[in-house]
Structure 1
Amino acid sequence: MSMCTTASRELTEPLAGTAPRATAWLLIEQSGPWGPRALTESHFHPELGRDLLQLTKGTGVEIALIRRPGRHADCPPSKAHTVFLAHTAPGGSWVREAHLDDPHALRDLDFAAVGAGEHGDFGTAYEGDPLALVCTNGRRDRCCALLGRPLAAELAASGHAQVWEVTHLGGHRFSPTMLVLPYGYTYGRLSPHTAKEVLEATHSGTVVAEWCRGRSFWERPSQAAELAVRQDFGVEAVDALTVVQQPVADGEVADAWTVRITHVDGRAWDALVHRVASEPARPESCLKSPTNPDRFDVVSLTPVR
């Protein structure tokens, strides 16, 4: 096992509150090898990649390249690109699918609207199996290739039709990591068995809190608070909880938030979440020196009704 994942496991670093932040995802198929910055360092059009990064800046839309599991020879890519556009709001998640010969058409998307939950009739509604997106880009971090690619291959071989390799989900030290859509929950430290459990749960509209890093729709303090409720009170239904996050008033506690978590059945909890530096230092990536990454600790969780 590679260094950054070994250190993270040995230090029992929490998964909760580590999911990438995105209200929406734009996933573009691009075969062949990927560089560390895949949108501009692959067979994808580099100028288009730069344009899309600029167009999505500040909109809540995260862009990644995807490809099917397997060998990825450096040969001329196919012309067609499968594209998924997804929004992850609780109670309002959706996925749209399109097949584009010319991905430059993506420049015409209203990314501010997409980030706010409006797809503008892009493509057609996707209604298949949950999308399983496993981070495998070894040029960013070798853990993702060594641990992610075998997992993606195993899931595809087991018959799950919608398994894709993806360029980046953050949190290399939690590899293998997987994003599931339409709901936007990210999972880490998966095995083939637990990944299949996650996909079965997603298909039935539930969350496996034990391996979950958080829902990308929420800020990281809210991710940690939501998962604390799921773990402590056995809440599994994917859209059962909503959160409202507020910073603690100045002068009280630095780097702290109160989070109100509300269940659709009327129950609610208040969480106090602190941001602290992880100790001791550990590598966030196999390519980086050890640091003290932020962690978000739920220091209290109180039922309010």
Structure 2
Amino acid sequence: MVVTGDVRCAALSQSCGEPQAGTAPTAAGWICLEQPGAWGREALTGSRLDPRLGVELQRRAGAVGARVLLIRRPGRHADDRRGTSPVRRAYLAAGTPGGSWLERVDLVAPEQLLELDFAALGGARPTGLGRPVSGPLLLVCTHGRRDACCALRGRPAIAGLAAAHPEAVWECSHTSGHRFAPTGVLLPTGYHYARLDPVFGEHLLRRAAEGRVVVERCRGRSAYLPVDQVAELAVRERTGETRDVLTAAGGYVRHVDGRVWRVRCLRRDLPPARPASCGAAPSVPVVLVVVEVQRLAGVARGRQGGRR
């Protein structure tokens, strides 16, 4: 069976019950630059940002495994600068398990970001360019030129949230996974989420401020490859652990208390065929399915409590 017609990719994915675990993009660090106005399909080279700067930022970030996003305040996005502050915001983040951090930088000119110590960012070391931010940051993709679902679903989801949390909630450019729109990424931890709505967004911000990880609707942590994103979430679901005390690598998940789990996943087709993004040719998606979670040797070293 092949799904065709004018139905949007997010609606098709949701109707098929497509799982989202293991679909987060991988990144060692994040550079988020405020850029008001409209964004073209390729945001870094299709906005009022100097495309040469966009290319150079992307090149330097890519060399250290980091990603660059454009961010903007929610609302109308006329391609002009009326009422726009000459100072623009930037955020730098590293999602290292157990040691994530977030910095804020206020820029007079976006070219100042080229002064960034990219090697430090790629190595999860604070860059010193900005000042530390203690609370979480929620970026919601509204990049309509990349996929209509992101704008049609993302903007309604973010409007009320941003009004209630103006410093913590921003629109952002493409984060991948249009079919899971509205999509968002929580910084500094780098957990990605699918099918956001205002109530769930409030829940994410509250739990993140408490240092907790929400497993529901989670696509995975960007510090991990897809199979390890799935493995970590599987262990969290099994144990109820919500703290940032797990690391995942090679299908093994380790707790700071000494426990270890081996998680076995298989790749399976999930028919029917459907577009992964609006306008794309239909194809049958391949998903990662957990088939075994095995507790290995390792005894918890005392009780750490708080698994809410």
Paired residues of 2:275 and 2:281 also in contact (CA < 8 A):
yes
In 2, Cα distance between equivalents of 1:207 and 1:174: 19
Measured in 2, the distance between the counterparts of 1:264 and 1:164 equals 33
- In structure 2, the partner of 1:291 is 283
Q: Distance in 1 between matches of 2:241 and 2:160?
A: 29
CA–CA distance in structure 2, aligned partners of residues 150 and 164 of structure 1: 13
- Greater CA drift, 73-82 or 206-215: 73-82
| Structure-1-length-normalised TM-score | 0.91
Q: Give the conservation status (yes or no) of the 8 Å contact 2:232–2:246.
A: yes
Match of 2:114 in 1: 107
Question: Between the two proteins, what is the percent identity of the paired residues?
Answer: 45
Residue in 2 that maps onto 1:71: 76
* Whole-angstrom distance in 2 between the partners of 1:27 and 1:132: 12
Q: Which of 11, 18, 21 matches 1:13? A: 18
Q: What is the CA deviation profile of residues 124-170 of structure 1, one whole-angstrom value per residue up to 9, with x for unaligned ones?
A: 1122x310100001110111001101111121233453110000110
- The corresponding residue for 1:242 is 247
Residues 34 and 286 of structure 1: CA distance in aligned 2, closer, same or farther (over 3 Å): same
1:143 aligns to 2:129 (yes or no):
no
C-alpha spacing 1:192/1:2, structure 2 compared with 1 (3 Å): farther
Contact 1:2–1:142, Cα closer than 8 Å, also in 2: no
Consecutive unaligned residues in structure 1, runs of 5 or more: 246-258
Are 2:224 and 2:249, in contact at CA under 8 Å, matched by a contact in 1?
A: no
Compute the displacement of 1:171 (Å). Answer: 0.3
Deviations 1:173-219 (A, max 9, x none): 00111111111111101221112111111111111211111111111
1:173 partnered with 2:179? yes
Distance in 2, Cα, partners of 1:184 & 1:159: 19
CA offsets 1:37-60 (integer angstroms, 9 cap, x no match): 010000111110011112222311
- 1:1-305, aligned counterparts within 5 Å? 3-76=8-81, 78-127=85-134, 129-159=135-165, 161-237=167-243, 239-245=244-250, 259-305=251-297
4+ residue segments displaced more than 4 Å: none
The Cα of 1:120 is off from its aligned counterpart by 2.9
CA distance in 2, matches of 1:82, 1:124: 12
The whole-number CA distance in structure 1 between the counterparts of 2:163 and 2:106 is: 24
How far has the Cα of 1:78 moved from its partner? 4.4
Q: Does the CA contact (< 8 Å) of 1:85 and 1:95 recur in 2?
A: yes
Query: Aligned-pair distance for 1:11?
Result: 1.1
* 1:107 Cα offset (Å): 2.0
Distance in 1 (CA, whole Å) between partners of 2:174 and 2:247 is: 26
Q: CA RMSD in A?
A: 1.6
Q: TM-score, normalised by structure 2?
A: 0.90
Question: Match for 1:241: what amino acid?
Answer: L
Change (3 A) 1:26 1:207: same
Q: Counterparts of 1:143 and 1:206 in 2: how far apart (Å)?
A: 29
SS at match of 1:242: strand
Count of residue correspondences: 290
How far off is 1:2 after superposition? 5.7
How far off is 1:278 after superposition?
A: 3.3
Structure 2: give runs of 5+ residues left out of the alignment. 1-5, 298-308
The C-alpha deviation readout for 1:73-107, integer Å capped at 9, x for no partner, is 12136432211010000111111111111221222
Q: Do the aligned partners of 1:31 and 1:78 also contact (CA within 8 Å) in 2?
A: no
